[in-house]
Structure 1
Amino acid sequence: MKKFEGLYTALVTPFDQDGKINDAVLQKLIEKNQAQGVKGFYVSGSTGESYLLSTDERKYLIDSVTEAVGGKGEVIVNIGMFATKHSIELARHAYSRNVSAISSVPPFYFPFTKNELVTYYEDLANAVDTPVIVYNIPKMSGIEFTLDDFDRLLANEKILGIKHTSYDLFQFQQLIEAYPDKSIFIGHDEIYLSALAAGAKAGIGSTYNIMADKFVKLDQCFAGNKKEEALKIQGEINCVVQALCKVGVFKGVKEILKMQGLDCGSCRKPFLPLNESQKIFLRETAEKNGLL
């Protein structure tokens, strides 16, 4: 089974003025990221507002992204929903579009047992001949997977890895060491350099939308043992991340993309639009850190 390495943009979902998926802007965003050196795209994740999209919209988004990528990069699709049946429906659609892998957050809200969650991922793996990536995001899902849980999950050869959106670098390093043939992605942009030191070979990030080139350069500096330059770039990234956290990460990423000439519209309600002072703050941050 293939191993994923490199940078994968957690794509925003662009909307037009009528609130529909904007294919033209999506195409330009994908081209921009490819030109900056990303290996592929993570579609319909948190950054893509997946749970604010209908099932039909999520299928349409898969179609639009795979067409835009045109085989020139990897496409990983989050097909996570509450019901296994609905996730499998999306998984089969993704499979029909020849995506590189499917991924899923663990079903949340209801108090599922760990056995039920493991069975959920095994059902996905059995449903389609597409590799599965577990989306570990405890802050959003409320589910904390232990190393024993991951041992059960990764014992399935069709579950090829984990998107580790957690600050637990201890567990992250243990997973990399225990499973050298699996793909363990770091999902927090603000600790990317620390993750590289822990052995990371792959990342999936929201801020790659607006500054993938910084992460490409950071990779190069780390590989070349240019520690001070690597720390400087991570510091710039963290300055941007801190600003995004103050205004709302997904709304902020879309606003900076608009400043860069890619109007991806607003995040869907119940998200509210940014006010003028927030926009000014973001512009100053973007200019200070070389994004404009």
Structure 2
Amino acid sequence: MINGSIVALITPMNSDGSVDYASLEQLVEYHIQQGTDGIVAVGTTGESATLPMSEHIEVVSHTVKFAAGRVPVIGGNGANATAEAIELTKAQSNLGVAAMLGVTPYYNKPTPNGLVAHYTAVANATDIPQILYNVPGRTSVDMLPETVARLVEVPNIIGVKEATGDLSRVKRLRELCGNDFKLFSGDDATAREFMLLGGDGVISVANNIVPKEFKAMCRAALSGDDKAALAAEADIVQLYTALFCEANPIPVKWAAHRMGLIKNGHIRLPLTELSPEYHGLLLEAMKKARIEVQ
């Protein structure tokens, strides 16, 4: 079962730009100890856009190795070319991932028919469960619930990460896709309401730095206890805005570095490290969340 509080894990890097596998192992262990329900390796927050395929596969492989079966690992397999997504999918099929997460092809703006054909082809390349990922704010294509419903018939497409923040889609997706189809929020700010409306969990950015608190919020929301969920996220809600003061994952990598979770906040071009003008904003939100910084 994949549900609850799932982290969209950052990919730690050394100052020369190479992947910092020691810090990656530390991050995986940290999340397991804090109770995170699942890990997404090399998704958007993991800088999938700037990791070449060989490195992408290596990071997913190491994440699975470090998790050692203690928590499910979901490998990112999205690409804007279907052939590349299939290649990523095949390469991860024997790594031990519990599922794969595929963002809608970005920039080239496929039609609904194109999306259906793309995801069907990717799913047919493996028997590993596939999770669709809709984030039009980054991809410029919106996969509507009606399009998602056309993909429910593909046997190993098991769910969708819906990151529009449009809560009306929860009911519509559930009506169209059935109760067994997994619905994951991809928007931290509306994740509590998403789960209270019938969602199965959230794939989160904030979870990188407040996993214990985020897990408590998810547990309460999934049980239908809005009061407890509100209380659990009271001190971390400010992070939901602060962590997007610049493009994700710029702020969350900076915050993780200040916490000592990773050796430095290096990020690959064309993204750059957090602008000094936002340091105070993020530090204030971290203080509110009772996060100790170095």
TM-score normalised over the length of structure 2 = 0.92
RMSD (CA atoms): 1.8
Structure showing the higher helix proportion among its residues: 1
Relative distance call for 1:126 and 1:170 in structure 2 (3 A) is same
What is the CA distance between 1:60 and its match in structure 2? 1.1
Distance 1:215 1:163 in 2: 17
Q: For residues 6-63 of structure 1, what are the alpha-carbon distances to aligned partners after superposition, in whole Å with 9 as ceiling and x for unaligned?
A: 2111000100111111110001111111111112111111111110111111111111
Relative distance call for 1:151 and 1:286 in structure 2 (3 A) is same
2:101 paired residue among 91, 100, 103: 103
2:180 alignment partner in structure 1: 181
What is the CA distance between 1:229 and its match in structure 2? 4.4
Distance 2:275 2:147 in 1: 43
- For the 8 Å contact 2:109–2:140, the answer to whether it is kept is no
SS in 2 for 1:241: helix
1:167 alignment partner in structure 2: 165
Trace 1:35-114 onto structure 2 (pairs within 5 A).
35-114=33-112
1:272 alignment partner in structure 2: 272
SS in 1 for 2:267: coil
Q: For residues 73-93 of structure 1, what are the alpha-carbon distances to aligned partners after superposition, in whole Å with 9 as ceiling and x for unaligned?
A: 111111111222211111111
Number of corresponding residues? 290
Q: For residues 182-210 of structure 1, what are the alpha-carbon distances to aligned partners after superposition, in whole Å with 9 as ceiling and x for unaligned?
A: 11111111112111221122211011110
Paired residue type of 2:266: S
- For the 8 Å contact 2:86–2:122, the answer to whether it is kept is yes
SS in 1 for 2:114: helix
Distance 1:55 1:224 in 2: 39
Distance 2:106 2:288 in 1: 39
- For the 8 Å contact 1:30–1:68, the answer to whether it is kept is yes
1:197 alignment partner in structure 2: 196
TM-score normalised over the length of structure 1 = 0.92
What is the CA distance between 1:226 and its match in structure 2? 5.5
Distance 1:206 1:184 in 2: 17
- For the 8 Å contact 2:41–2:76, the answer to whether it is kept is yes
> Percent of aligned positions with the same letter in both sequences?
29
SS in 2 for 1:161: strand
SS in 2 for 1:279: helix
Distance 1:111 1:220 in 2: 36
Relative distance call for 1:278 and 1:94 in structure 2 (3 A) is same
